[in-house]
Amino acid sequence: MLLPRPIQILVSALERLPGVGPKSASRLAFYLLRAPDEVSEELSQALSGLKGKIAFCEECFNFTEAGQSRCEICEDDQRDGGVLCVVEEALDVVALERVGAYTGKYHVLHGVLSPIEGIGPGDIRVKPLVERVAKGGIREVILATNPSMEGDATALYLQQQLRPLGVQITRLARGLPVGGDLEYADQNTILRALTGRSEMS
Ligand SMILES: [Zn+2]
C-alpha cells in the first residue's frame, strides 16, 4: 500500500526509534491521524527543540532543565549527600528513583569502559567523580553499573581509582540478571540489589 508522503515521513521517523518496528510505526502514525489535534500538537511541541531545553547537572551529570546548573536531586537537601550511587546512564537514575528506597545522591557516568569499542576512562565521567569524592563529605560510593562484562570492568576500575580516597565502596548485590540492565529490572529486583549491596574487596 502506497501511503501519502507525509505519513511515510512520519512512519520512517518513528521506525528509527528503539523498540519500534515498521508495524508499530504505522500503527502509531495512524493513531495520530485519528486522534484529536491536541495529541499530535503536544507531541510535536515536546519534541521540538528538546535537546536545547536540557542540560547536564554540573554536579552529578544527570539531565536537568537548561538554565539550571544543578538537577532536582542534587538540589534536594533532604537527601543524604554522604552516599553516592554511580550509574551508567540517566535512565538508571529513573529506574532507581522509581523504587523510592534510595535517599542518597547520584553520579551519572554516561557510558561504561569498553576497550572493544574504544571507550576509555577519558570518554566517560570518571574524573569528575574522583574529584567529587576527593573533596570529602562522602562516606559511601555504591557502584551500580550493570552486571555486564563492561559494567563489572568499570566498577573494578572505579574501585581502584577511589580506594586511595578512603571511602567505603560497595557494589549492588547479584540479584540483577547477568547482562541485564538496571533500566529493565523490576522494582523488587532493584530493591534487593540495593539493600543487599556489599563492600568490594
Ligand atoms: Zn545533579
pLDDT in the model for residue 179: 59
pLDDT in the model for residue 46: 95
pLDDT, one tens digit per residue, over 96-130 is 999 998 999 999 999 999 989 999 999 999 999 99
**Distance between Cα 105 and ligand 1 center (Å):** 8
pLDDT of 92 above 70: yes
In angstroms, rounded to a whole number, what is the distance separating the alpha carbons of residues 38 and 40? 6
Mean pLDDT of 4-8: 94
pLDDT in the model for residue 107: 98
**Distance between Cα 108 and ligand 1 center (Å):** 9
pTM of the model: 0.84
pLDDT in the model for residue 139: 96
Whether the CB-CB separation of 43 and 29 falls below 8 Å is answered with no
**Distance between Cα 69 and ligand 1 center (Å):** 8
**Distance between Cα 175 and ligand 1 center (Å):** 27
pLDDT in the model for residue 63: 96
pLDDT, one tens digit per residue, over 134-185 is 999 999 999 999 988 899 999 999 999 999 999 999 998 776 666 567 777 8
pLDDT in the model for residue 40: 95
pLDDT, one tens digit per residue, over 7-41 is 999 999 999 999 999 999 999 999 999 999 999 99
- CA triplet 181, 186, 188: central angle to 5 degrees? 125
**Distance between Cα 139 and ligand 1 center (Å):** 18
**Distance between Cα 57 and ligand 1 center (Å):** 5
**Distance between Cα 113 and ligand 1 center (Å):** 22
HSE value, Cβ hemisphere, 13 Å, CA-based, for 172: 30
pLDDT, one tens digit per residue, over 31-78 is 999 999 999 999 999 999 999 999 999 999 999 999 999 999 999 999
**Distance between Cα 179 and ligand 1 center (Å):** 27
Helix (H, G, I), strand (E, B) or coil at 111: coil
Whether the CB-CB separation of 168 and 141 falls below 8 Å is answered with yes
Instruction: Locate 91 and state its grid cell.
Output: 535512565
pLDDT band at residue 193 under the 50/70/90 scheme: confident
Hunting for cell 528503539 — which residue is that?
18
Whether the CB-CB separation of 126 and 108 falls below 8 Å is answered with no
Instruction: Locate 99 and state its grid cell.
Output: 523504587
